[in-house]
Amino acid sequence: MRTWTCVFLLLLGCGAEPSDSDGGARDAAPVDAGSDSGIEVSCGDEVARQGWSLCEEGGPTCSLVFTDSTGCAAACAALGLTCVESYEDVDAMCAADRSLPALDCADTGHISDFCTCGRAPSPPDAGPVDGGTRDGGPPGEVLAFPSARGAGAYATGGRGGRVIRVTTLASSGPGSLREALTAEGPRIITFAVSGTIVIDSTIVVSNGDFTVAGQTAPRGGITLTGGSRVIELRGVDNFIVRYLRVRPEYSSFDALGLIDCSNYIFDHVSVSFGGDEIMTTRGDTDDLTFQRILMAEGKTGTLFGDSNEPSLSENLSFHHNAYYNVTHRHPNVHTFGRADVYNNVVFNWRFRWSVVIGDVQLNHLANYYSRGCLGTPNGDNSFNKVFYDPTFEPEIHSAGNLVVPDFLTDPAADNWGLWNWRVDVTDGPYAGAGANTQLTRDYQTASAFPLLGPSTSVQSAREAFEDVSTDVGANARLDENGDVVAEVDDLDALYLRNIRSGDCVEYMSSSAGQDFDRTAHYAAFRSSISTTPIATGYADSNEDGIPDAWVTARGFGVDADLTNHVWPSGYVGVEEFLNEVDR
> Mapped to the 3 state alphabet, what secondary structure does 135-204 carry?
CCCCCCCCCCCCCCCCCCCCCCCCCCCEEEEECCCCCCCCCCHHHHHCCCCCEEEEECEEEEEEECCCEE
pLDDT at 510: 66
Start-to-end CA span in the chain (Å): 31
pLDDT at 335 over 50: yes
pLDDT at 79 over 60: yes
Backbone angles phi, psi at 116, to 5 degrees: -110, 125
pLDDT at 136 over 60: no
pLDDT at 141: 76
Beta strands in 461-502 (DSSP E): 476-478, 484-486
Cα separations (Å) of 403 from 217, 364, 385, 461, 464? 38, 13, 16, 10, 13
Q: Please give the order of strands across the beta sheet that includes 82-87.
A: 53-58, 61-66, 113-118, 82-87
- Mean pLDDT within 233-260: 92
**DSSP H or E stretch at residue 90:** none
Residue 513 pLDDT grade (very low, low, confident, very high; cuts 50, 70, 90):
low
pLDDT at 98: 82
- Mean pLDDT within 545-570: 93
Give percent of the chain with pLDDT exceeding 70: 87
pLDDT at 121: 45
pLDDT at 58: 74
**Active-site annotation holds for 329:** yes
Question: Which DSSP category does 27 fall into?
Answer: P
pLDDT at 106: 84
The pTM of the full predicted model, rounded to 2 decimals, is 0.77
- Mean pLDDT within 113-119: 87
Backbone angles phi, psi at 56, to 5 degrees: -145, 145
pLDDT at 278: 85
- Express each pLDDT in 230-242 by its tens digit: 899 999 999 999 9
pLDDT at 133 over 80: no
- Express each pLDDT in 359-374 by its tens digit: 999 999 999 999 877 7
User: Which listed residue (187, 329, 371, 554) is catalytic?
Assistant: 329
pLDDT at 516: 80
pLDDT at 379: 60
pLDDT at 38: 41
For the chain, give the mean pLDDT: 85
pLDDT at 277: 84
**Which tops the pLDDT comparison, 536 or 517?**
536
Minimum mean pLDDT range among 18-27, 282-291, 473-482, 538-547: 18-27
pLDDT at 380: 59
Question: Which DSSP category does 426 fall into?
Answer: -
Nearest CA to 59 out of 78, 84, 27, 77 is that of 84
pLDDT at 140 over 50: no
pLDDT at 563 over 60: yes
Residue 345 pLDDT grade (very low, low, confident, very high; cuts 50, 70, 90):
very high
pLDDT at 525 over 60: yes
pLDDT at 551 over 90: yes
pLDDT at 57 over 60: yes
pLDDT at 301: 76
* Pairing status of strand 113-118 against strand 82-87: antiparallel
Amino acid at 163: V
- Express each pLDDT in 152-195 by its tens digit: 999 999 999 999 999 999 999 999 999 999 999 999 999 999 99
pLDDT at 118: 85
- Please report the DSSP string for 549-583 in residue order: HHHHHTT--TT---TTPBPTTS-BTTHHHHGGGG-
> 3-state class of 45 per DSSP?
helix
Torsion of CA 328, 510, 250, 172, to 10 degrees: 50
pLDDT at 44: 84
pLDDT at 235: 97
- Mean pLDDT within 56-85: 85
- Mean pLDDT within 438-463: 95
pLDDT at 511: 63
Residue 120 pLDDT grade (very low, low, confident, very high; cuts 50, 70, 90):
low
pLDDT at 375: 64
Nearest CA to 84 out of 49, 110, 109, 121 is that of 121
- Express each pLDDT in 384-398 by its tens digit: 889 899 999 999 999
Give percent of the chain with pLDDT exceeding 90: 61
- Express each pLDDT in 277-333 by its tens digit: 888 899 999 999 999 999 998 888 788 888 889 999 999 999 999 999 988 888 989
pLDDT at 24 over 60: no
d(CA 386, CA 75) in angstroms, rounded, equals 52
Amino acid at 275: G
